[in-house]
Amino acid sequence: MLAYSLRRLLISVPIFIASTFVVFLMAALSGNPLNRLLAISPPPPPQTIEAERVRLHLDQPIFERYWNWLTGLFRGDFGPSTESTMDIGNEVMSRYMVTLRLVLLAMLLALILAIIAGVVSAVKQYSGVDYTFTFIGFLFLAMPTFWFAILLKEAGISFNNAVGEQVLFTIGDSSVYVAGGAWDKVLDTAGHMILPTISLALLSFAAWSRFQRAAMLEVLNSDYVRLARAKGLRRGQVMRKHALRTALIPLTTVTALDLGSIISGAVVTETVFQWQGAGTFLLEAIEKDDVYSIMAWLVISATVIIVLNLVADLLYGVLDPRIRYA
């Protein structure tokens, strides 16, 4: 298992470097970080513009800029921002912690719902329950992320107006001031996470439940499940140890592949609910043509995706003994 894990980790290194190189070129060539400075009226002195150009390393060839940025990562230096007072490393890490709790909780909720819906739909194929889950799945698949998030936000506002108090929070990832101790702050944070988590989770659940249903149907019709039943094993034991365990392998693959889509969906969800997370950090960086802030977001995102894909690879070994023994 250790050799398998190391091999998968080593494969991720060239993928990571290639992705950073492509995005760096795209970000560096898409705009001029000095545009905001040049748009000031009256324009600043040429010496000021040249000093800013040197500070942002725009006086260097683009390949040299990339190499200096890449080697600087090993020293914890993410490069200079167009906002001279901002430390990119501290800012992107604090913002990403906000987004990460949303993404991980939404993934967990989506997986639980997808497994339950997929298994029940497969076991009760062509029943009313199956058709109901199928309808719900296709309904959420047809909904754009931003539209569904806006609907939930409006529903939360209407619910609060109906009960006459703030039950569902619709703005921000936490309150500016929370009276009380640590437990009150935890409850406040949890209250702000309800609607964004539901928005992100249900859209992922829709596709994953269909994959789980298809995988479960395939396993239930396999020879080894028929053999387990013929041996007289209890139905629950057959479903849990033989059918479900194998059927989770395709869902694990799909979840790992969809991780990038979930993070991009979090960008939209954070914008709707006005969270100060990694999504808004990325949008602000793009608006300012802040190349190094964009690259910092990519590095953290790529690292999260690589780590969770490695976890998915390890789960293959847990779910399929043939991989573990090999």
- Percent of the chain clearing pLDDT 70 (strictly above): 97
Compute CA distances 55 → 26, 51, 78, 92, whole Å: 20, 6, 13, 20
Which of 135, 127, 130 lies closest to 214 in space, CA to CA? Answer: 130
pLDDT at 74 over 90: no
Domain 2-34+84-325 architecture: Orthogonal Bundle (1.10)
pLDDT, residue 321, reads 64
Model confidence pLDDT, tens digit, residues 19-72: 888 888 888 887 788 888 888 878 788 888 889 889 988 888 989 999 999 888
Residue 189 to residue 249: CA distance in whole angstroms: 33
Residue 272 to residue 213: CA distance in whole angstroms: 32
- Percent of the chain clearing pLDDT 90 (strictly above): 16
pLDDT at 325 over 60: no
Q: Does 42 sit behind a cis peptide bond, omega within 30 degrees of 0 on the bond before it? A: yes
Residue 164 to residue 172: CA distance in whole angstroms: 20
- Are 3 and 324 in contact by the 8 Å Cβ rule? The answer is no
Query: What does the mean pLDDT of the chain come to?
Result: 85
What is residue 320's three-state secondary structure? coil
pLDDT at 5 over 80: no
Q: What is the band of 118 on the pLDDT scale with cuts at 50, 70, 90? A: very high
pLDDT, residue 9, reads 77
pLDDT at 112 over 90: yes
Tokens representing 72 are: 């600087």
Distance of CA 173 to the CA centre of its chain: 16
Q: Which of 130-134, 143-147, 237-241 has the lowest mean pLDDT?
A: 237-241
Burial 85-116 (b: 16+ CB within 10 A, else e): eeebbebbeebbebbbebbebbbebbbebbbe
Considering the entire predicted model, what is its pTM? Answer: 0.82
Q: What is the band of 1 on the pLDDT scale with cuts at 50, 70, 90? A: low
pLDDT, residue 221, reads 83
Q: What is the band of 181 on the pLDDT scale with cuts at 50, 70, 90? A: confident
pLDDT at 142 over 70: yes
Which of 10, 11, 20 lies closest to 73 in space, CA to CA? Answer: 20
Per-residue H/E/C for 259-277: HHHHHHHHHHHHHHHCCCC
pLDDT, residue 83, reads 87
Residue 179 to residue 104: CA distance in whole angstroms: 27
Q: Taking the domains of the chain in order of start, what are their residue ranges?
A: 2-34+84-325
Residue of higher predicted confidence among 106 and 233: 106
pLDDT at 324 over 60: no
pLDDT at 96 over 60: yes
Compute CA distances 113 → 110, 118, 208, whole Å: 5, 8, 9
Which of 83, 73, 84, 79 lies closest to 60 in space, CA to CA? Answer: 79
For residues 158-165, give the mean pLDDT. 89
> Vertex 111, ends 106 and 113: CA angle to 5°?
95
Residue of higher predicted confidence among 91 and 203: 91
Q: What is the band of 177 on the pLDDT scale with cuts at 50, 70, 90? A: confident
Residue of higher predicted confidence among 28 and 80: 80
For residues 278-295, give the mean pLDDT. 88
- Cα dihedral sign, 192-197-200-202: negative
Residue 251 to residue 118: CA distance in whole angstroms: 10
pLDDT, residue 38, reads 80
pLDDT, residue 129, reads 92
Q: Which of 3-7, 75-79, 81-85, 259-263 has the lowest mean pLDDT?
A: 3-7
Q: How many CB atoms lie within 10 A of CB 273?
A: 25
pLDDT at 326 over 60: no
The secondary structure of residue 56, as a DSSP letter, is: T
For residues 127-153, give the mean pLDDT. 89
Helices within 44-87 (DSSP H only): 46-55, 62-73
**The tokens 């398998």 sit on which residue?**
4
For residue 114, which amino acid is it? Answer: A
**The tokens 């690879």 sit on which residue?**
313
Q: What is the band of 322 on the pLDDT scale with cuts at 50, 70, 90? A: low
Which of 286, 302, 298 lies closest to 78 in space, CA to CA? Answer: 298
Residue 160 to residue 110: CA distance in whole angstroms: 25
Q: What is the band of 311 on the pLDDT scale with cuts at 50, 70, 90? A: confident
